[in-house]
Structure 1
Amino acid sequence: MADITCTHCNLTFPEEVMIAEQQNDEPLFFCCKGCQGVYHLLNSEGLDTFYDKLGDTKLQPAIQNNEDLEKFDLEGFKNKYITTHQDGLSEINLIIEGIHCSACVWLNEKVLHKTDGVIETSINYTNNKAKIIWDPEVIKLSHIIQTIRSIGYNAYPYDPKLQEERAISTRKTYYSRILVAVFGSMNVMWLAVAHYAGYFGGIQQSFKDILNVAEFVLATPVLFYSGWIFFRGAYYGYKNNIVNMDTLVASGALSAYIYSIYAMISQRGEVYFDSVVMIITFVLVGKYLEVLSKKHAVDTLDGLMGSTPTEVTTIKDGVKSLVSIENIVVGDIIELKPGEKVVIDGEVTWGQGSFDESSLTGENEPVYKKNNDTILSGSICLDSVVHYSATKDASNSMLTSIVNLLEDSITKKPRIEQLANSVSGYFSTIILIIALLTFAGWFFWVESFEQALIVGISVIVIACPCALGLATPMATLVGISVAAKRGILFKEASFLETMAQSDILALDKTGTITEGKPSVVRSDYFESFDPSLLYSLVSTSNHPISKGIKAYLESKHETLKALALEEITSIEAKGVKATYEDQKLLGGNAALIQASNLKVDTESQNALFFFTINN
């Protein structure tokens, strides 16, 4: 029996294994119960136009797997992946597995929009990431996942580690394609040197034929293997009635390739295999740089969360234990040690200490926190042990809000990018029309098919709107990424565009435009001493002022030694003390020195640090 194509997934199987049925006197064949169920589901929901958009694209057979659905409703899963809004709505980022084209995106969005309880669905075709907002009072997340699976796709929560594996796979694909393209380009250009020399100085036809065949052999894998990305993009564009950048690159390179084969076989005219490989290589390298830039930008966001602890020390009934931050609930008592980063917002219940909030406010001065004061995630405990009560869970804390802010700023396109996307679509169509008119004009003017074809191809390749369509979103993506690395957060990408039209920049605090690190502006010595003593003392502290003094001493003295201090004690919110060979060292603020019955002048516009030896 002959092979039959499945009505849903377009895969072919022997007729005897197919499930056959009739609908309106039209035979239908399905490879499995899953495909049969999805087909009838789409028809019953009025979504049968999906198959018109799908065309000949092959899908994975719809596998019905509902065994693990209950895990999506577990409390631990909810705490880790789901964000709860103030209005009670829930939000999650999912990766939709099985998306092959824009028709797949259309189908998933349509089905979810028609599902009761789903408020918003948006799917990014470039990375298959879906943002879904729903009402948990109306529908459970497990039912949403089941709905996605019922139409032949699968979904799992967005995880940076899984995305890293996907990004590595994409980079490896580009590596191999670029290697083939560069190898072919280099060798074709060597052969082209001989071609050009023969063109101007004369060459026997037999030698010319050998060069033509050699260039053909090298150009073929470059065009169809390295350039497959452009042919695939052009094909999907054609199916959806869109003329895109890939259409221009593919049509220009393929036209030159076909004409070169004709010239090689007929021994009339010149071949342009060198142009074919250079077109593919240069644009492919540009696409690869786009992939790298996008990966680096995403790494910046993942790095913000990756640099934070995944566990905290909690105290319950006098027992300390390490608990994952996803399992922290409001009211839990958390212990902070000197140097630890705060990952859950809360309120101090015991102890006091200084906190570095420069990453949040830009102010380099440590902030003193005592009982009932609020501490924010992203700040760092500097000099003492503090206990505090969690007032928010991990998903609603300050640090998570910052990361979510950055992710939203990348997904929201500024007006200039929306304009570029719409213009580049019309632009590509116009360029194709101009190229055809150019070809026709040159052909009738000079009556040379070869010259007219090359001029027409030149119009297509040179006018390719890659800069328009790629540079605009990449500039937005990289701009937000670089700003985030330097402590500048944009709520939306459109603010980048707005800033370009600004004449005045107003800043509300000095810490915003400083380095965020204190430095020594003046030092007064009442008696001479070994600077290694002070250097060793401040080296035991994580306080920003101690670090500033350490950097100052390193710049002023070349022979500093790290001495082995004893009885090192950190005094909360005041300073540090230690001993070295019967010498008592004391360093800190005025309160610490005054507590030792020493009188000091405390009038200054700057932060003061005092250092004494044996009082």
Structure 2
Amino acid sequence: MTSRTDCFHCGETLSPESFPIIYRNIEQPTCCAGCQAVANTIIQSGLESYYSQRDQPADRAKPLPDELLAQLHLFDDVSLQASFVLNVDADIREASLIIEGISCAACIWLNERHIQRLPGVLSASINYSTHRARVRWDEREIQLSTILQAVAAIGYRAQPYDQAKQEEGWQKQRKSALFRLWVAGLSMMQVMMFSVPIYMSKAGEIAPEWLYLMHWASLILTLPVVLYSATPFYISSWRDLKRRRTGMDLPIAIGVLATFIASSYSLITDHGEIYFDSVSMFVFLLLTGRYLEMSARRKAGAATEQLVKLIPAFAHKIDAQGTIEVTVNSLQIGEQILVKSGETIPVDGIIRQGSGEVSEALLTGESLAISKSAGMQVTGGTLNLASPLHIEVSQVGENTRLAAIVRLLDQALAQKPHLALLAEQVSGWFVSILLITAALAWLYWHWHDPIHALPIMVSVLVISCPCALALATPVALTATTGHLAQLGLMVARSPALETLAQISDVMLDKTGTLTHGEPRIQQYITSHASEENARAIAASLEAASAHPLARAFLMPEAPLAQEMQTYPGGGLSGLVNGELYFIGHPDFVNRQCAMLMPEAIRQAEGSIIALASSRTWLGAFIVADTLRDDAAASIQALRDAGLRLHLVSGDSNATVQALALNMHIENAVGRATPGDKLAYINTLQQQGRRVLMIGDGVNDAPVLAKADVSMAMGAGVDVAHAAGDMVLLNNQLDRLPKALALAKKTRNIIRQNLIWAIAYNLAALPLAVTGQITPWLASLGMACSSLLVVLNALRLKGKF
């Protein structure tokens, strides 16, 4: 058994009773049965590497009481899961959980692997910044309560994700950083009160006993900085060393400790220079830079995280007695709720009573309010601006559209683009070179001018820390992702932003992409009835029809016609206000009406829906799929940007060619199958072209997956969303040129950041090695360099 006096698992003082465990063939003590059980579970699961990777001891483990274990089984209830569990398939579930007790990257590693090893668990991923976990499992093999118990068995707590708790964690982190900064700042001011008179006075002007006392006071005042304020640098450095790598905080930790220890030795032996003021000053400056950087990075990602906050906690449920206040999580599909003017709609649903305007600005980026009436769908997280609405619940919790968007964001933020990975690798090598350079600088100056060896070594370590290099890419990408979210464009895969700036060709589907994807009445050919009256009669007749063209006539308030009769290949008939009417193909209607077909209807071209009674003609409608309002301007903007455009659609060749001619699209192909589309994009890519594909249907999913960058329309099917790198939530094509321009601006800013970071380090290192820069000035330069990179990246959040 080892001679250690603290618990191997949690680090607390051992109790008189022994609770040993075996770790790598060595007996180690734990403080209680809880820590013993947790440690044994971790080791027996084959995850003992956690103990060599972690930054700090775990929280003390306490066995779950029987009543809490019983409560965990309540989470298997389907109604309780509605708010945080998504039904991916018949038996596949995905839960959004928050893991409590996570303190470092090793905790993430431990939880992910422990959960993934459970039979029936398909995947598990945890976001380090939010501690939000996405766990997918097969309901036939494992229950959610078993997963929660498995997490508890290794000393952590898992429960439904709560944004309020995540915010509480951020505030705790912010307060801790501020307090460390306050301690360092107070120490710096007090130490400088003693140091400035020493610097300002002439040699021998201050009596030796007073000089000695002032130095000792400086040491005591610097202790809180070294032992408390600078601990994040030590923890991070120790974590990296245990993983056999050199991190960005290692030079800082070495610089702080080396300067303090050398200064303390000089004071005790009364030989050498003393730099307590430099220690407190550059720790204060570094912490100031880190705090500003942390705040700026949180600000950069705020646009994406705010989506989680959109859904309110309570709703007004309508029952037989009126309305009652209930939690949103308790609502069931089919129930009705009242959403008052100015309130946020808490669920996806269908308006059953009332009409007004709804703002989808925070969700889709559309600034204009959208008119809504009975029968129309509304989305959770949008804002009711006008009159009260009675809404029937169709989706709640993890099945809502907003929850799907948040899942896309988690997926995007979990991936690291190529430039970010490259910067991390370069930073690691640079730190190793920096440590060697600092050691060589110390040796050189120790031989030639020993009094300057230590401050020059510290300056080298601090001023050339590659923090700016590591921040150059991720902060810019985070800011861009947030800006695109405000425009209504969700990035599902972060690496796509790099490629988006390099595309040379844009390949578009027609139906549902350039067009609305649904039939609309383009023209009314009048005969013996007003358009308003004819539309009302047509809506009553078509209300019961399943024909795709019938959707063009839908009117929620239209009454259903009586004695409906269908004529296959011809049309419909029915009684409206006691009179018999016929609607359908002009030839069919002509055979039913006593009056001859008007010449204007006979000569019309396109999809013609005729309407007549048995006695007289009312008129006819030309129905077609219409272009989106912003399609022409968006296509022109893409062409002006120098991109080659391709229209590849499954519609008839004549229709596709006519649309391409009208939109000035150079390349067009009709009657294209999914295989044809794949072959088309393969040909472009073999020519060295970088292709952006935009589509919406099931038939577009293969080519979306094949494209260099793919964008799915928000109104498209789920399989298209899954295949796309981005999702255009508001279906507004005018966002596309803005996204392309923003991607290019992002690439330029990343390049600017990388060039600045490299140039700064190359320029600063020689100055530090030659003794031109003092340690406190070095810390100021490093902090300002990192902050400059972050502020430059935040330009991507502004109006564009």
TM-score normalised per structure 1? 0.71
Matches within 5 A, 1:274-353: 274-296=277-299, 300-301=303-304, 303-316=306-319, 319-353=322-356
Q: How does 1:590-609 map to 2 (within 5 A)?
A: none
Shift in alpha-carbon separation, 1:191–1:502, aligned structure 2, 3 A: farther
Deviation at 1:147, TM superposition (A): 0.9
Moved more, 480-489 or 401-410: 480-489
| SS in structure 2 at match of 1:390 | strand
2:153 aligns with one of 150, 154, 158 = 150
Mapped contact 1:293–1:478 kept (Cα < 8 A): no
After TM superposition, give the deviation of residue 228 of structure 1 in Å.
1.7
State the partner residue of 1:89: 92
Say if 2:230 and 2:283, in contact at 8 Å, map to a contact too. yes
Task: Indicate the SS of the match to 1:13.
Answer: coil
Tell me how far 1:277 sits from its aligned partner. 1.2
Q: Give yes or no for contact 1:410–1:480 (8 Å, CA) kept in 2.
A: no
State the secondary structure of the residue aligned to 1:80.
coil
Distance 2:266 2:229 in 1: 23
Question: 2:407 matched to 1:413?
Answer: no
Please say if 1:267 is aligned against 2:270.
yes
After TM superposition, give the deviation of residue 394 of structure 1 in Å: 3.6
Preserved contact between residue 96 and residue 154 of structure 1 (Cα < 8 Å): yes
Residue number in structure 2 paired with 1:34: 34
Query: What's the counterpart of residue 460 of structure 2?
Result: 459
Partner of 1:169: 172
Q: What TM-score do the two structures reach when normalised by structure 2?
A: 0.56
Q: What are the residue-to-residue correspondences of 1:120-519 with 2, within 5 Å?
A: 120-198=123-201, 205-296=208-299, 300-301=303-304, 303-316=306-319, 319-357=322-360, 366-444=369-447, 446=448, 448-470=449-471, 472-481=473-482, 484=485, 489-498=490-499
How far residue 75 of structure 1 moved from its aligned partner, in angstroms, is 3.4
Q: CA deviation at 1:407?
A: 4.1
Helix, strand or coil at the partner of 2:133: strand
Structure with the bigger RCO (C-alpha within 8 Å, sep 6+) is 2
1 CA distance for matches of 2:176 and 2:14?
Answer: 30
Paired residue secondary structure (1:122): strand
The answer to whether the 8 Å contact 1:62/1:153 transfers is no
Range with greater deviation from structure 2 (494-503 or 97-106): 494-503
Q: Distance in 2 between matches of 1:201 and 1:24?
A: 61
Structure 2 CA distance for partners of 1:497 and 1:380, relative to 1, 3 Å: same
Q: Could you tell me which residue of structure 2 aligns to residue 45 of structure 1?
A: 45
Which stretch shifts more, 49-58 or 305-314? 49-58
CA contact (8 A) 1:301 1:407 kept: no
- CA distance in 1 between partners of 2:508 and 2:195 (Å): 59
> For each residue in 1:462-508, what CA deviation from the matched residue of structure 2 results, as whole angstroms up to 9, or x when unmatched?
11122223454344434444554576644444455456557999999
| Cα distance in structure 1, aligned partners of 2:386 and 2:58 | 61
Cα separation, partners in 2 of 1:200 and 1:507, compared to 1, 3 Å: farther
Q: Report SS of the residue matched to 1:155.
A: strand
1:60 Cα deviation after fit = 1.6
Distance in 2 between the 1:37 and 1:151 partners?
A: 8
Quote how far apart the aligned CAs of 1:420 are.
2.5
2:316–2:324 contact (8 Å) kept in structure 1: yes
- Number of residue pairs matched by the alignment: 507
Residue 352 of structure 1 and its aligned partner are, at CA, apart by: 4.6
Partner Cα distance (2:134, 2:311) in 1: 24
2:86 is aligned with 1:74: no
Secondary structure of 1:61 counterpart: coil
Residues 216-240 of structure 1 deviation map (CA, whole Å, 9 limit, x = unaligned) = 2222222222112212222222233
Which deviates further from its counterpart, 222-231 or 194-203? 194-203
Residue 557 (structure 1) aligns with: none
Alignment pair present for 1:61 and 2:61 = yes
Q: Which is further off, 357-366 or 87-96? A: 357-366
Amino acid at match of 2:227: F
Task: Provide the C-alpha distance between the structure 2 equivalents of 1:287 and 1:345, rounded to a whole number of angstroms.
Answer: 41
CA displacement at 1:167 relative to structure 2: 2.2
Identity, % of aligned positions: 33
Q: Deviations over 1:275-306 (max 9, x none)?
A: 21122111111222233335545665554454
1:442–1:87: structure 2 CA closer, same or farther, 3 Å change rule? farther
For 2:452, the aligned partner's letter is Q
CA RMSD of aligned residues (A): 3.9
TM-superposed deviation, 1:144: 0.7
SS of the equivalent of 2:136 reads strand
Deviation at 1:171, TM superposition (A): 2.2
Alignment partner of 1:96: what SS?
strand
Distance change >3 Å, CA 13–CA 339, structure 1 → 2: closer
Whether the 8 Å CA contact 2:441–2:453 is kept in 1: the answer is yes
**Alpha-carbon distance between aligned partners in 2 of 1:160 and 1:296, rounded to the nearest angstrom:** 16
Gap runs ≥5 in structure 1: 509-571, 574-604, 606-615
CA distance in 2, matches of 1:351, 1:387: 6
**Residue aligning to 1:608:** none
Partner SS state of residue 395, structure 2: coil
* Equivalent residues of 2:54, 2:239 under 8 A apart: no
Assess if the C-alpha contact under 8 Å between 2:365 and 2:487 holds in 1.
no
Distance 1:89 1:171, change over 3 A: same
Determine the C-alpha separation between the residues in 2 that align with 1:481 and 1:71.
Answer: 37
1: CA distance between counterparts of 2:402 and 2:218?
57
CA, structure 1 residues 231+88, in 2 after alignment: closer, same or farther (shift >3 Å)?
Answer: same
Against the structure 1 CA distance between its residues 449 and 133, is the aligned structure 2 distance closer, same or farther, given a 3 Å change threshold? Answer: farther
Report how far residue 243 of structure 1 moved: 1.9
For 2:199 and 2:45, locate their aligned partners in 1 and report how far apart those are by CA, in whole Å. 63
Matches within 5 A, 1:554-565: none
DSSP 3-state at the match of 1:134? strand
Q: Is the 8 A contact 2:307 2:362 kept in 1?
A: no
* Aligned partner (choices 106, 112, 117) of residue 114 of structure 1: 117
Whether the 8 Å CA contact 1:405–1:491 is kept in 2: the answer is yes
Equivalence for 2:529: none
Asked if the contact 2:80/2:330 (under 8 Å) is kept, the reply is: no
Over residues 530-549 of structure 1, what are the superposed CA-to-partner deviations in whole Å (9 max), with x where a residue is unaligned?
xxxxxxxxxxxxxxxxxxxx
2-side partners of 1:159 and 1:111: how far apart?
A: 22
Greater CA deviation, 330-339 or 482-491? 482-491
Q: Contact 2:365 / 2:485 at 8 angstroms: preserved in 1?
A: no
CA distance in 1, matches of 2:150, 2:395: 32
Amino acid in structure 1 at the alignment position of 2:459: S
Deviations 1:170-197 (A, max 9, x none): 2222222111111122233343332333
Q: Deviations over 1:390-432 (max 9, x none)?
A: 3322432233333443444433333322222333223222211
SS of residue paired to 1:138? coil
Quick check: 1:331–1:390 contact (8 Å CA) kept in 2?
Answer: yes
- State the AA in 2 paired with 1:176: F
- Is the CA contact 2:84–2:397 (under 8 Å) kept in the aligned structure 1? no
1:347 shift after superposition = 3.2
Unaligned 5+ runs, structure 2: 510-555, 558-628, 630-800
